[in-house]
Amino acid sequence: MNAFEAPGRTVAPTTDDLFLGGALTILQPRNGYRAGTDAVLLAALMAPETLGAGPVLDVGAGVGVIGLCVARRCPSARVILLERDPCLAALARDNVQRNNMSDRVSVVETDLARATAALEVADIKSESFPVVLANPPYHDDRRSTLAESPLKAVSHQMSDDLLDAWARFMCRMAAPGGRAAMIHKAEALPRILETFEGRFGSIAVLPIHARAGEPAIRVIVEGVKGSRAPLYIRPGLVLHTPEQSFVPEIEAIFRHGAPLPPQYRG
């Protein structure tokens, strides 16, 4: 266990975790927000042959796992990590440096609701990202008990109506024809589709199942800015075998840094 201190913050214990089979080493708060399966799966939408030109924006990046996974898998990718919490943003900067990606990955510390000034300082323009990714907090803070840790609470809990603000910001930053993708609880799908309506088309829904035959536990919703193409549902992605090990496709993602197979991504 390590300890980390952001400017103006008390020392917080951290862990040093391996991602993509050890290709990334990530410092995370021991008791706060911890990235894991969802972040890696969302990043696995991106493959070198489909990423294209232009930067990738990771909205609400936390310690940077999504963006860093994209950058590790796609050697030409340039990534901006957007994070509002000073402690998480500081950890993200440290993770960028310790993984030797400072030339391709940068961190902007700002709240997406008040991001204009920070984006101007960083010379980041609206409608400039071919890809925008987000792993927003999952729990409605009006329905759940707040986490004891303030850092964990701010990372895991927000009201459902803020999903519209996330979708609005993702649309603002996506280039015309750009892709936006969000991972969330399966039960949030109706709300996500509502917030994407009028902003994104050609919406693809990827259901994610813990095991075959069980209800989906997560969804990845991806859309194209300005498209009028209809919604479609991709084949369900199963994570585990009946024996609780990863299925081969998922093992390849988590242990070897592979992207999702083509049938699960655009």
Write the CATH number for 228.
Answer: 3.40.50.150
What is the chain's mean pLDDT, rounded? 90
Whether pTM exceeds 0.85: yes
Q: Is residue 133 pLDDT above 90, yes or no?
A: yes
Q: Is residue 2 pLDDT above 80, yes or no?
A: no
pLDDT of residue 54: 84
Q: pLDDT tens digits, residue range 63-73?
A: 999 999 999 99
The answer to which of 49-63, 187-201, 237-251 has the lowest mean pLDDT is 49-63
pLDDT of residue 161: 74
Share of the chain above pLDDT 70, in %: 88
Pairing outcome for strands 216-225 and 200-211: antiparallel
Q: Is residue 87 pLDDT above 60, yes or no?
A: yes
Q: What is the average per-residue pLDDT within 133-154?
A: 61
* Sequential DSSP letters for 48-86: HHHH-SS-EEEET-TTSHHHHHHHHHSTT--EEEEE--H
pLDDT of residue 232: 97
The answer to which of 88-102, 108-122, 142-156 has the lowest mean pLDDT is 142-156
Higher pLDDT, 200 or 49: 200
Give kind and range of the element (H or E) at residue 28: strand 24-29
Residue span of the structural domain in which 115 resides: 2-260
Distances (CA, A) of 201 to 126, 128, 177, 195, 230: 19, 18, 10, 12, 7
pLDDT of residue 122: 93
Q: How confident is the model at residue 160 (pLDDT cuts 50, 70, 90)?
A: low
Q: How confident is the model at residue 5 (pLDDT cuts 50, 70, 90)?
A: low
Q: pLDDT tens digits, residue range 107-122?
A: 999 999 889 999 999 9
Share of the chain above pLDDT 90, in %: 79
Tell me the C-alpha distance between 201 and 204, whole Å.
9
| Coil/strand/helix, residue 30 | coil
> Is 266 inside a domain boundary?
no
pLDDT of residue 1: 47
Tell me the C-alpha distance between 206 and 183, whole Å.
9
> Is 265 inside a domain boundary?
no
Pairing outcome for strands 24-29 and 12-19: antiparallel
Structural domains of the chain, count: 1
Q: Is residue 159 pLDDT above 70, yes or no?
A: no
Dihedral sign of CA atoms 107, 109, 112, 116 in order: negative
> Is 143 inside a domain boundary?
yes
Q: How confident is the model at residue 156 (pLDDT cuts 50, 70, 90)?
A: very low
Q: What is the average per-residue pLDDT within 169-193?
A: 97
